[in-house]
Amino acid sequence: MKLDLTQVINDLYGDPIPAADAQGKLTGGDVTVRRVLRIALTTKAQSEKNEYKDQLERFILALKMVENDEVELEADQIVNLKKWVATRYAQLVTGRICMLLEGKAADAAPGKDETPPERKKK
Protein backbone atom coordinates (compact mmCIF):
# COMPACT_ATOMS: atom_id res chain seq x y z
CA MET A 1 0.00 0.00 0.00
CA LYS A 2 1.05 3.59 -0.56
CA LEU A 3 1.23 5.81 2.52
CA ASP A 4 1.34 9.61 2.49
CA LEU A 5 3.87 10.57 5.15
CA THR A 6 2.94 14.26 5.15
CA GLN A 7 -0.50 13.65 6.68
CA VAL A 8 -1.08 15.48 9.94
CA ILE A 9 -2.28 13.47 12.93
CA ASN A 10 -5.40 14.94 14.55
CA ASP A 11 -6.70 14.69 18.08
CA LEU A 12 -10.12 13.23 18.89
CA TYR A 13 -11.83 16.46 17.87
CA GLY A 14 -10.15 16.79 14.50
CA ASP A 15 -7.55 19.38 15.51
CA PRO A 16 -3.88 18.81 14.60
CA ILE A 17 -1.69 17.55 17.43
CA PRO A 18 1.13 20.06 17.99
CA ALA A 19 4.65 18.66 17.72
CA ALA A 20 6.74 18.58 20.91
CA ASP A 21 10.20 17.38 21.92
CA ALA A 22 10.92 14.58 24.40
CA GLN A 23 10.50 17.00 27.31
CA GLY A 24 7.08 18.12 26.07
CA LYS A 25 8.20 21.55 24.82
CA LEU A 26 6.31 22.57 21.68
CA THR A 27 8.62 22.68 18.67
CA GLY A 28 6.30 24.28 16.14
CA GLY A 29 4.36 22.52 13.45
CA ASP A 30 2.11 19.51 13.84
CA VAL A 31 2.67 15.81 14.35
CA THR A 32 2.80 14.00 11.01
CA VAL A 33 2.75 10.36 9.98
CA ARG A 34 6.43 10.71 9.03
CA ARG A 35 7.38 11.96 12.51
CA VAL A 36 5.50 9.17 14.30
CA LEU A 37 6.89 6.41 12.10
CA ARG A 38 10.43 7.82 12.17
CA ILE A 39 10.42 7.77 15.96
CA ALA A 40 8.87 4.29 16.06
CA LEU A 41 11.54 3.02 13.67
CA THR A 42 14.56 4.66 15.30
CA THR A 43 13.85 4.08 18.98
CA LYS A 44 13.93 0.83 20.87
CA ALA A 45 11.34 -0.19 23.44
CA GLN A 46 12.81 -1.65 26.62
CA SER A 47 11.05 -4.95 26.01
CA GLU A 48 12.56 -5.40 22.52
CA LYS A 49 15.48 -7.68 21.85
CA ASN A 50 16.24 -6.84 18.25
CA GLU A 51 18.65 -8.76 16.14
CA TYR A 52 20.91 -6.72 13.88
CA LYS A 53 18.83 -7.73 10.82
CA ASP A 54 15.70 -6.27 12.39
CA GLN A 55 17.51 -3.07 13.35
CA LEU A 56 18.96 -2.74 9.85
CA GLU A 57 15.53 -3.26 8.27
CA ARG A 58 14.09 -0.55 10.52
CA PHE A 59 16.95 1.84 9.74
CA ILE A 60 16.56 1.39 5.98
CA LEU A 61 12.80 1.94 6.21
CA ALA A 62 13.35 5.07 8.35
CA LEU A 63 15.74 6.47 5.72
CA LYS A 64 13.17 5.78 3.01
CA MET A 65 10.56 7.69 5.02
CA VAL A 66 12.83 10.68 5.61
CA GLU A 67 13.74 10.91 1.92
CA ASN A 68 10.20 10.57 0.47
CA ASP A 69 6.76 12.07 1.03
CA GLU A 70 5.09 8.79 0.07
CA VAL A 71 6.23 5.21 0.57
CA GLU A 72 5.09 1.84 -0.68
CA LEU A 73 4.71 -0.62 2.20
CA GLU A 74 4.56 -4.41 2.09
CA ALA A 75 2.13 -6.36 4.29
CA ASP A 76 4.86 -7.46 6.73
CA GLN A 77 6.10 -3.87 7.09
CA ILE A 78 2.58 -2.71 7.93
CA VAL A 79 2.22 -5.37 10.62
CA ASN A 80 5.59 -4.42 12.12
CA LEU A 81 4.91 -0.68 11.98
CA LYS A 82 1.65 -1.14 13.90
CA LYS A 83 3.49 -3.13 16.56
CA TRP A 84 6.36 -0.63 16.83
CA VAL A 85 4.03 2.39 17.03
CA ALA A 86 1.89 0.68 19.70
CA THR A 87 4.94 0.13 21.93
CA ARG A 88 5.93 3.82 21.77
CA TYR A 89 2.70 5.82 21.66
CA ALA A 90 -0.59 6.06 23.55
CA GLN A 91 -3.96 5.11 22.10
CA LEU A 92 -4.67 8.31 20.17
CA VAL A 93 -1.59 8.26 17.95
CA THR A 94 -1.54 4.46 17.74
CA GLY A 95 -5.18 4.41 16.70
CA ARG A 96 -4.74 7.07 14.03
CA ILE A 97 -1.62 5.42 12.57
CA CYS A 98 -3.14 1.93 12.62
CA MET A 99 -6.25 3.21 10.83
CA LEU A 100 -4.07 4.77 8.12
CA LEU A 101 -2.02 1.59 7.80
CA GLU A 102 -5.27 -0.33 7.31
CA GLY A 103 -6.31 2.05 4.54
CA LYS A 104 -9.02 3.75 6.60
CA ALA A 105 -9.61 7.49 7.01
CA ALA A 106 -7.96 8.51 10.25
CA ASP A 107 -9.08 12.12 10.45
CA ALA A 108 -12.60 11.49 11.67
CA ALA A 109 -13.85 14.13 14.05
CA PRO A 110 -16.78 13.67 16.42
CA GLY A 111 -20.34 14.16 15.31
CA LYS A 112 -22.36 17.32 15.90
CA ASP A 113 -23.51 16.17 19.34
CA GLU A 114 -20.00 15.39 20.54
CA THR A 115 -18.59 18.87 21.03
CA PRO A 116 -15.99 18.73 23.79
CA PRO A 117 -17.18 20.41 27.01
CA GLU A 118 -14.48 23.10 26.93
CA ARG A 119 -15.67 24.19 23.47
CA LYS A 120 -19.37 24.42 24.21
CA LYS A 121 -20.70 27.96 24.34
CA LYS A 122 -22.26 28.92 27.62
Query: Which tens digit of pLDDT belongs to each residue from 108-121?
Result: 555 544 555 566 55
For the beta carbon of residue 22, count every other beta carbon within 10 angstroms: 6
* 12: phi then psi, degrees, rounded to nearest 5: -65, -20
Span 60-89, pLDDT tens digits: 999 999 999 999 999 999 999 999 999 999
Instruction: Tell me the whole-structure pTM to 2 decimals.
Output: 0.82
Q: What are the sequence ranges of the domains in the chain? A: 2-111
